[in-house]
Amino acid sequence: MFEFGCATATDAEVFETRNPARHSERVGRYGAVTPQDVAGHVTAARRAQRDWAALPVTARLHRVGAFVDAVAAQADAIARAITREQGKPLAEARGETAKSLDEARQMLAIAGQPLGAVHASARPGVLPMSMRRPRGVIAAITPWNFPILTPMRKVIPALAFGNAILLKPSELAPAAAFLMAEAGRDLLPEGLLQLLPGDGALGAALVASGAEGVTFTGSVGTGQAVFRAAAESLAELSLELGGKNAALIHDAPDLDACLDQISAAAFLCSGQRCTAISRVIVPRDLAEAVTEGLVARAEALVPGDGFAQGVTLGPLVSADQRARVDALVQQARAAGARLCTGGGAPDDPALSEGHFYAPTILDRMDAGNPAAREEIFGPVISVLASDSLEHAFALLNDTDFGLTSALFSTDACVINRFIAESGSGMLHVNHGTTPDSNMPFVGIRNSGVGACSVGPGAAAFYTTEHAVYLGTP
């Protein structure tokens, strides 16, 4: 069983995690940080950050690179911790860990690039330049669905660009983040990277702590609360929020390959990811074939404990999450959607002790159906039939979200229109919605606020820009 920080915590401050595939099994015990403790952690972070920012950039990147290598040496232990606490199949957990390391190395390369410019002079004898400095202390709050990817996505650029970081991982699955931090214990200055386990009250205190930057990944509602709280101190914000992502099938010469990619993008992490495809928009004459193909793929998935051989679908993270998913599915049915498969817990009694939800396909609904509008965050696909290309694009953009979208088509005019009109931060043509490790991860509208968290644009959050005028004496 994982145990971190319990020796210095009172019984009232200790919380436990459980295996979502078998909720009677305790997985970890953690000593929570109280909101009253946050100020002291910020003070220690500021002290460490001053010396860290003063290091030459190449020396700093060398030390962060050694930290990434130390995390890589613990990759298997981290993946197993993810499966035990979050529930995803071990192969998925290993894939998440590998991607987190790849993203980290990409960000190290980006942080080593020039971050300033020499500008055209407007006055004789003056050389104007721009430069960037570390922002300072970063407060980071991460969710439970990607227990190592999201923490690494915030920790590595924060350190690489010269900041200190206070990280609050989700209390549902913090072990992977603790293993990551343990890997850097002897490589990073004390106080530079601090893990603060705890609940929402701790998160609120962290946002209000006066940190120069606040980065959060999670729901829109919580993101709005973070936005309001951070405004009090005018902290810079980077918010990764939800999605209601669509795949638009215009024409698919190889429908099977198309549906393979859609189902993979929909059911990875049991649908518990912001980039999951949850809507499939298809011409009416193709709708029945698409629905049948997605049903076959959903029914071929094997739910179970993520450590078991052959399992391809893990449980949802908690009983509350399963109840929320089921409530939305039942609301969708009450509003007229047809249930094609799934729609509840699997029949297998061996799975009764876990938070499993059968992969679900819904169709025959209108654009106002809850399943077509709300982020379900579970293994649920809604099929919407379109009567024309105009109707399809209207359905595609009929959402408050703007994270990612996909188009399957061989028509150059349709592809160009999708690139020009899709209201998403990330656009995929003829493949699913998995982003590359070196590309901007960015949402618009209700899906994101501030600079993206991956790619060159991340520097706009982790650093401040300054104008310099070099005059001759």
The residue to which tokens 């214990």 are assigned: 185
Beta bridge partners of 465: 132
Please report which helix (H) or strand (E) contains residue 152, including its range: helix 149-160
Query: Angle of helix 255-267 relative to helix 284-300, nearest 10 degrees?
Result: 60
Amino acid identity of residue 31, one-letter, is G
CA angle 106, 109, 118 (to 5 degrees): 130
How do strand 426-429 and strand 404-408 relate by DSSP bridges? parallel
Contact assessment for residue 315 and residue 21, using Cβ atoms and an 8 Å cutoff: yes
Residue-wise burial string across 67-101, b where 16 or more C-beta atoms lie within 10 A, e elsewhere: bbebbbebbeebbbbbbbbbbbbbebbbbbbbbbb
Two tokens at 355?
């938070």
Residues in the chain: 473
* Residue that is written with structure tokens 């909101």 in the block: 35
Helix (H/G/I), strand (E/B), else coil: 143: coil
The radius of gyration of the chain from alpha carbons, rounded to an integer in Å, stands at 23
Pairing of strands 360-363, 338-341: antiparallel
Out of 240, 258, 375, 452, the active site residue is 240
* Alpha-carbon distance values, 341 to 292, 298, 333, 435 (Å): 10, 8, 12, 29
- The sheet carrying 338-341 orders its strands as 338-341, 360-363, 380-386, 277-283, 245-249, 404-408, 426-429
Q: Is 240 a catalytic residue?
A: yes
Cβ atoms of residues 137 and 42 within 8 Å: yes
Catalytic residue among 274, 340, 375, 452: 274
Active site residues: 240, 274
